[in-house]
Structure 1
Amino acid sequence: MTVETDRARLLELLRTLSFERRKVILASGKESDFYVDCKRTTLTAEGHVLVGRLLLERVRAIRPLVRGIGGLTLGADPIASAVALTSFLEGEPVDAFVVRKEPKGHGTGQWVEGRRTIPDGARVIVIEDVVTTGGSALKAIERCRVEKLVPVACLALVDRLEGGREAIEAQGVPLQALFTRRDFIP
C-alpha cells in the first residue's frame, strides 16, 4: 500500500462511518451543521491500521524522533494506540500516553498515563481526532508541559478550519491535519 492509497481509503472510511450532515452541539459548545465522529473509524480494525501508518509517516518527519504520542482522552486514545503499535512493528517505537480530563481519583492521582517509558524532557506529539477551537489539544499541551514533557507538534485527523489551528500554533506547537472540512464539504 502507498501513502496515497491509505489516505484515500481512510478518507472513504471517515466519510462513510464518521461524517454526518446534521445540527449538533460540539465539545466546544459551538453549534454546527456537520459532525465527524472519528472514533467510528479509528476503532475499526482497518481504520486503526490506516491511522497508524499515515500518522507514523508524519511522526517520522519530525526529527529528532519523539518518545511519546498522545492526547486528551477519549478521541486521541485509539489514534495514539494505532501509532504506537505501528511504530513498534516498524522498528521505531514511539510509546502512547493518555491525558486524563481530571486527575485519577485514587492511587497516584495521575493526570497522564503511560509515563513510565517517557522520561521528563522527552519530545512528544499531541494527537487530536477533530480540531475545532483547539480546546482539547490545548489542554493536552498544557498538561504535557506541567508533566515536564515537550510538545513539538500536534497531529490531527480532521481540522474543521474554525480557529483551532491558530490557537494551537499560538502556543508554539505546529498543527498538521490529514484532512480538513473541505475534504467532507467541498
Structure 2
Amino acid sequence: MTRDEVLDVFREAGGILEGHFILSSGLRSPVFLQKARVFMYPDKTEILCKALAEKISAAGLGEIDYVVSPALGGLIPGYETARHMDVPAMWVEREDGEFRLRRFEMPKGSRVVIVEDIVTTGLSSRETVEALKAAGANVLAVACLIDRSAGAADAGVPLIALTEYAVPSYPADDLPPELAALPAVKPGSRGLT
C-alpha cells in the first residue's frame, strides 16, 4: 500500500484529527492518528493488517513463530496481522509498570515480530523488545501501521512500517504559538487512571 492509500483508510474512518493533542509519549502534536476509529471497522483493519503482514513477509526475516503486541493499542493490529501470517498472536501488558508476557508461555528462542499500531518515539516498542528478550525470545523486528517519526524512532530492533507519516511533535514547554493557543486533549490511553 502507498502512504496515501494508508492515510485514506484513516481519513475514511475519521481517524485523522486536528487540534492540540497530548501523545502517549508526552509530546504535543497538532495531528492525532485515532486508530481506534479505524479498528472499529473490521474491513478497514483487515486491509491495513494484510498489507503489513505482506510487508513483514517480504522483509526476509525467515520463519516467524509468534506476533506479539503491547496492550492495549497493539492488540487488534497484532491479532489481525498474525491471522494473515498464520501464526499465533500474544501480547504483553503492564504489571507493576513494566511489560510482561503474563498470560502466555513462549519457548526459549522463539522467533518473534512485535506488531504495533503507531510508533512515535519507539518507547513502547523498546519496552516490548526488552520484555520479550527477558522471556528468552529472539525478537526479529518491530512492525507498525504508521511510523510517525519517519524513520527516526529507535525500536531497539529493525522497524518495518506499512507507511511513514511525519507529523510534528513538540515538548510541552516548547510549543509553537498557534498550538499553545489551543486547549490540549489526551485522546490516547497511556497514563489514564
In the superposition, the TM-score normalised over structure 1's length comes to: 0.77
Check conservation: 1:66, 1:94, Cα contact below 8 A. Answer: yes
Identity rate, percent: 25
Check conservation: 2:55, 2:162, Cα contact below 8 A. Answer: no
Q: 2:112 aligns with which of 100, 124, 127?
A: 124
Check conservation: 1:133, 1:162, Cα contact below 8 A. Answer: no
Gap change, CA 1:35 and 1:151, over 3 Å in 2 = same
Q: CA deviation at 1:138?
A: 0.9
Higher helix share: 1
Check conservation: 1:135, 1:164, Cα contact below 8 A. Answer: no
Q: CA deviation at 1:73?
A: 0.6
Aligned to 1:97: 90
Q: CA deviation at 1:51?
A: 2.5
Q: CA deviation at 1:140?
A: 0.7
In the TM superposition, structure 1's runs of 4+ consecutive aligned residues that sit over 6 Å from their partners are none
Distance, in Å, in 2 between the alignment partners of 1:162 and 1:133 is 10
Number of aligned positions between the proteins: 165
Q: If you compute each CA radius of gyration, which structure gives the higher value, 1 or 2?
A: 2
Q: CA deviation at 1:25?
A: 0.5
- Structure 1 unaligned regions, length at least 5: 88-92, 104-109
Which residue identity does 2:160 align to in structure 1?
Answer: Q
Distance, in Å, in 1 between the alignment partners of 2:22 and 2:124 is 15
Aligned to 1:90: none
Gap change, CA 1:162 and 1:31, over 3 Å in 2 = farther
Distance, in Å, in 2 between the alignment partners of 1:45 and 1:123 is 27
* CA deviation vs aligned residue, 1:133-170 (integer Å, no higher than 9, x gap): 111111111111111111111111111127752x22xx
Distance, in Å, in 1 between the alignment partners of 2:148 and 2:6 is 17
Distance, in Å, in 2 between the alignment partners of 1:51 and 1:42 is 10
Check conservation: 1:59, 1:65, Cα contact below 8 A. Answer: no
Distance, in Å, in 2 between the alignment partners of 1:81 and 1:12 is 22
Check conservation: 1:24, 1:35, Cα contact below 8 A. Answer: yes
Gap change, CA 1:113 and 1:164, over 3 Å in 2 = farther
Q: Which has the higher contact order (CA 8 A, sep 6+)?
A: 2
Distance, in Å, in 1 between the alignment partners of 2:74 and 2:28 is 22
Aligned to 2:161: 177
- In terms of mean alpha carbon deviation, does 35-44 or 156-165 score higher? 156-165
Q: CA deviation at 1:10?
A: 4.0
Gap change, CA 1:140 and 1:119, over 3 Å in 2 = same
Which residue identity does 1:94 align to in structure 2?
Answer: V
Which residue identity does 2:165 align to in structure 1?
Answer: R
Question: Does 2:8 align with 1:12?
Answer: yes
Gap change, CA 1:181 and 1:8, over 3 Å in 2 = closer
- In terms of mean alpha carbon deviation, does 119-128 or 60-69 score higher? 60-69
Distance, in Å, in 2 between the alignment partners of 1:74 and 1:164 is 23
Q: CA deviation at 1:114?
A: 6.0
Question: Does 2:135 align with 1:147?
Answer: yes
Which residue identity does 1:21 align to in structure 2?
Answer: E
